[in-house]
């Protein structure tokens, strides 16, 4: 990776908007040695890593959202096969996402192992930041891929091994956390990894420690249009490329523009995850009342989260020449499957002259009455996964809950001795094919929308399968 870093040093210097102004002259021939002996190289490296982290996460959000029942790509840009879902190891997007994981890991390692040695001013806060980036790279690998190398040119290590590496790295980071928000962040990532591994006791412990540190923390990645750090996920979601599943219409667009230069952040961890984990663990222990208590606390947090009022989404139209028409009238009621009851209030009126209100950290359609009315394990687990879907909406998390995993890309498969074992994507048999995740019908006369597959019920029904509901 050394040659790659020499080539990217100038880019990373430019990434620090407080170090470089547009009218300054930058030497494009800065080599590694010159960089390491420049003023404050670690500050520059951390700023550049933060920029790349944001840009890479934007790509993950964009592609993972259409690789789910959250969004359908109703336009010609972005992937046209992830919606199927068709996940080939030769797909350029599969390769891109895999390279993002490797780049984050290697950038963090280079900062920790090389830049830190060259810069005596390196702080624990900077080391903490790089360790969290490294841990997050392992989380991405563990959540979304069947297997990836742990080092440049190495053999493929399966997803559970990736999550174990995330946990080891978070253990290092925790010792450097300087405040309660940092501790809450690390404990939440630890709980996330332990949850996916099915380690209920560890997940619960870290979820509780996170909430003890902060009951409402939220960690986000920032973008900056002035300096060219622009979110592709925002472009896809704010424009008319991506259309949400109708029962999620009220949550869209999570990324919006109040002015032409606005760039919304992407949330990478928040306190809500801990309540969800505690509720799911309680259900696995057959403690329905405790699960309802945790879901009530979660609902209170979500309802206290900020919203953006007066968003002008009138150009959305929910069609605009796309592949299919989506409902754009609040008179429509929506059912999550042909067997579900119709629900009102899920479709938002965006038509002129109306302005809308959007929850931009977390939102949910779940009410206290729905939580209070839970009377059995399966319906409660279904509601947990509905809240997971709504709360993590547009954050790129849903495919992991559906049990979908990307293959090892062609280049890595050719270099890894075990690469041939992972060139097929993993898609559970209960995940519908042929665009079924996004399928619905509209009855214009009755003003109803019927989703074909209630995937949260399907998750609950198949909870004993190893691909989903890790605590079951």
Q: Is the bond preceding 353 in cis, omega lying within 30 degrees of 0?
A: yes
Question: H-type helices in 73-217, by residue range?
Answer: 92-110, 116-118, 124-144, 159-174, 180-197, 200-213
> What's the pLDDT tens digit per position in 332-375?
999 999 999 999 999 999 999 999 999 999 999 999 999 999 99
Distance of CA 76 to the CA centre of its chain: 23
With residues binned 3-state (H G I as helix, E B as strand, rest as coil), the percentages for the chain, rounded to 5, are: 50, 10, 40
User: Which tokens sit at 89?
Assistant: 């190891």
> What's the pLDDT tens digit per position in 401-437?
999 999 999 999 999 999 999 999 999 999 999 999 9
User: In terms of pLDDT, which residue wins out, 322 or 455?
Assistant: 455
pLDDT for residue 10 is more than 80: no
State the pLDDT at residue 127.
98
Q: If you average pLDDT over residues 140-151, what whole number do you get?
A: 97
CB-CB contact of 403 with 143 (8 Å) = no
User: Which tokens sit at 142?
Assistant: 């563990």
Q: Which residues of 170-183 are buried (b: 16+ CB within 10 A; e: fewer)?
A: bebbbebbeeeebb
State the pLDDT at residue 435.
97
Least Cα distance to 425 among 467, 460, 392 occurs for 467
SS3 348: coil
Packing angle, helices 92-110 and 2-15, rounded to 10: 80
In the block, which residue shows the tokens 């992991």?
400
CB-CB contact of 124 with 380 (8 Å) = no
State the pLDDT at residue 1.
37
pLDDT for residue 12 is more than 60: no
pLDDT band, very low/low/confident/very high, at 39 (cuts 50, 70, 90): confident
> What's the pLDDT tens digit per position in 185-234?
999 999 999 999 999 999 999 999 999 999 999 999 999 988 889 999 99
DSSP string, 395-427: TT-HHHHHT-BBPPPHHHHHHSTTGGGG-B-B-
Packing angle, helices 124-144 and 159-174, rounded to 10: 160
Calpha distance 218→264 (Å, rounded):
14
> What's the pLDDT tens digit per position in 108-126?
999 999 999 999 999 999 9
CB atoms inside a 10 Å sphere around CB 120: 7
Least Cα distance to 271 among 209, 188, 327, 380 occurs for 188
User: Which tokens sit at 460?
Assistant: 């609950």
Backbone conformation region of residue 335, classed left if phi is above 0, alpha if psi is from -120 to 50, else beta = beta
pLDDT band, very low/low/confident/very high, at 29 (cuts 50, 70, 90): low
State the pLDDT at residue 32.
85
State the pLDDT at residue 339.
97
Going by C-beta distance under 8 Å and a sequence separation of 6 or more, which residues neighbour residue 78?
62, 63, 66, 236, 241, 242
Give the H or E element holding residue 149.
Answer: strand 147-149
State the pLDDT at residue 77.
86
pLDDT for residue 466 is more than 90: yes
State the pLDDT at residue 27.
52
Share of the chain above pLDDT 70, in %: 93
Calpha distance 348→57 (Å, rounded):
28
> What's the pLDDT tens digit per position in 231-251?
999 999 998 899 999 999 999
pLDDT for residue 48 is more than 80: yes
SS3 356: strand
CB-CB contact of 232 with 396 (8 Å) = no
SS3 287: coil
């Amino acid at each position: 990776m050394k040659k790659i870093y020499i080539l990217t040093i100038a880019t990373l210097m430019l990434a620090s908007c407080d170090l470089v102004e547009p009218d300054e002259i930058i030497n494009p021939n800065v080599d590694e040695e010159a960089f390491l002996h420049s003023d404050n190289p670690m500050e520059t490296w951390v700023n550049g890593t933060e920029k790349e982290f944001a840009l890479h996460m934007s790509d993950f959000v964009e592609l993972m959202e259409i690789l789910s029942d959250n969004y359908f790509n109703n336009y010609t840009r972005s992937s046209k096969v992830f919606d199927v879902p068709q996940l080939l190891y030769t797909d350029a997007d599969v390769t891109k996402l895999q390279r993002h994981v490797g780049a984050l890991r290697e950038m963090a390692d280079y900062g920790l192992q090389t830049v830190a040695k060259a810069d005596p001013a390196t702080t624990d806060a900077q080391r903490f930041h790089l360790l969290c980036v490294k841990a997050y790279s392992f989380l991405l690998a563990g959540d979304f891929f069947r297997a990836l190398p742990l080092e440049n040119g190495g053999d493929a290590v399966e997803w559970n091994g990736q999550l174990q590496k995330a946990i080891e790295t978070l253990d290092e980071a925790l010792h450097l956390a300087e405040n309660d928000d940092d501790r809450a962040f690390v404990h939440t990532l630890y709980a996330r990894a332990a949850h996916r591994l099915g380690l209920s006791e560890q997940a619960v412990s870290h979820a509780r420690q996170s909430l003890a540190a902060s009951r409402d923390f939220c960690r986000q990645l920032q973008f900056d249009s002035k300096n060219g750090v622009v979110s592709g996920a925002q472009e896809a979601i704010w424009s008319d490329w991506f259309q949400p599943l109708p029962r999620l219409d009220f949550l869209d667009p999570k990324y919006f523009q109040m002015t032409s230069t606005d760039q919304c952040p992407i949330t990478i961890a928040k306190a809500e995850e801990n309540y969800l984990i505690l509720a799911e663990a309680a259900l696995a222990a057959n403690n329905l009342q405790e699960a309802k208590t945790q879901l009530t606390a979660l609902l209170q947090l979500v309802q206290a989260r900020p919203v953006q009022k007066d968003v002008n989404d009138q150009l959305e139209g929910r069609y605009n020449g796309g592949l299919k028409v989506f409902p754009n009238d609040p008179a429509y009621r929506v059912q999550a499957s042909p067997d579900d009851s119709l629900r009102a209030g899920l479709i938002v009126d965006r038509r002129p002259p109306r302005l809308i209100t959007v929850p931009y950290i977390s939102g949910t359609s779940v009410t206290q009455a729905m939580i209070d009315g839970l009377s059995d394990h399966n319906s409660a687990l279904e509601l947990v996964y509905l809240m997971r879907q709504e709360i993590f909406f547009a954050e790129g998390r849903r495919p992991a809950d559906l049990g979908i995993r990307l293959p090892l890309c062609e280049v890595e498969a050719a270099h890894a001795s075990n690469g041939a074992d992972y060139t097929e994507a993993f898609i559970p048999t209960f995940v519908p094919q042929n665009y079924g995740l996004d399928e619905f019908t509209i009855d214009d006369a009755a003003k109803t929308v019927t989703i074909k597959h209630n995937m949260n019920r399907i998750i609950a029904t198949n909870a004993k399968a190893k691909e989903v509901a890790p605590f079951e």
